[in-house]
Amino acid sequence: MPVLDPPLAALANQQNGLLTHAQMMSAGWSRDTIKFRSRPWCRILEGVYLIDSRAVDEDVLGMAALLRWPAAVLSHDTAARRRGWVLLDQRPDWDAWLPDEPKCEDVVHLTCINQYRSQEGFRFHRAQPGDFSRVGAARVTGEVRTLVDIARTAPLPLAVCLIDALSHIDLTLFDDLQTEVARLAGRRGVLRAQAACRLAHPGAESLLESLLRLLLALAGLPPPIVQIPVRHPGGTYYGDLGYPEQKLILEADGRDHHSKWDQVMKDMARQNILVVDGWTVLRFSWRQVLYQPELVIRTVSRALAVGGAR
């Protein structure tokens, strides 16, 4: 590949390895030069080229879209991932409780007031993007706007888990989200966003805790206390979820939680103390919560009935 002039090379480095036809023209290249030099490059979109061998991932596609459509900003889950937000990447098998959930699309989401022709792999949302932020060289919708867009359009488990995770870090973001959702009353998708806000809880400390709590709510079970404190002579333990009156604790055992033996021993010691003190401790795995919801609901229901009969 021909060596680029330093200014163009630096520009491409800032743009995830991308250059546009217009940028090369501005650097003094003729159309014939561009045609010749671009032969070994990967054409991502019309007039947008990947000039190196990096993988064409969502970051590259997102930047290519911003270069192709300069009035647009990245939005929805594309903006969330560019911000580094952790999104639920598996669809729970909860069709009995969420029969009409939208499906996540493997596309780059963009918001723009202009109307553009649809393009495979890219989805446009025609609206004012509002004040946007910059993450590196990328334009993305603001934090609250991104969260509102996801709450209005994403599957409920994804939206609730994200709201939980972000509000656990910054409670003001949850307050701002609720304010914006109230302001948008009557708009498309706002009822879904209101439900996500109602079911969210800033006390959750993991995706699995959020999912377990959401599943119990959808099944009509009483809402558990989040991070329930249990005092005993040796100190205070905090269960992930619990029902004090029934002396029932629910623990969400995440995928990587027990990768170290010392953590396993701590959990064993804690559970032994709780059981001796008269508590019932139920543990649920990622697979059970996502793919065996009937088992989880049946087990918790029976434990609540037993605890209530004491």
User: 18 with 33, same domain?
Assistant: yes
Q: To the nearest whole number, what is the mean pLDDT of the chain?
A: 90
- Residue that is last in its domain, among 35, 68, 101: 68
Identify whether residues 78 and 182 lie together within a single domain. Answer: yes
Check residue 235 and give its pLDDT.
Answer: 78
Indicate the length of the chain as a whole number: 310
**Among 5-14, 65-74, 230-239, the range of highest mean pLDDT:** 65-74
73 plus 194 within the same structural domain: yes
Read off the pLDDT band of 166 (50, 70, 90).
very high
What SS3 state is found at 179? helix
Q: What three-state secondary structure class fits 37? A: helix
198 plus 80 within the same structural domain: yes
Same domain flag for 296 and 222: yes
pLDDT at 1: 44
The helix-helix angle for 156-169 and 207-218 (nearest 10°) equals 130
Residue 107 shares a structural domain with residue 192: yes
Domain count, the chain: 3
Listed residues 18, 44, 68: the one ending a domain: 68
Boundaries of domain holding 92: 69-202
Please tell me whether residue 81 adopts helix, strand or coil conformation.
helix
Give the closest residue to 76 by CA, choosing from 179, 180, 162, 171. 162
Looking at the fold, whether 158 and 45 belong to one and the same domain comes out as no
Rounded CA-CA distance 212/259 in Å is: 21
Helix/strand/coil for 82:
helix
| 265-270 mean pLDDT | 74
Does one domain contain both 295 and 170? no
Residue where a domain stops, chosen among 68, 83, 113: 68
Q: Quick one: 58 and 84 in the same domain?
A: no
Residues 239, 265 share a domain: yes
Amino acid at 293: P
| Residue 105 and residue 218 in one domain | no
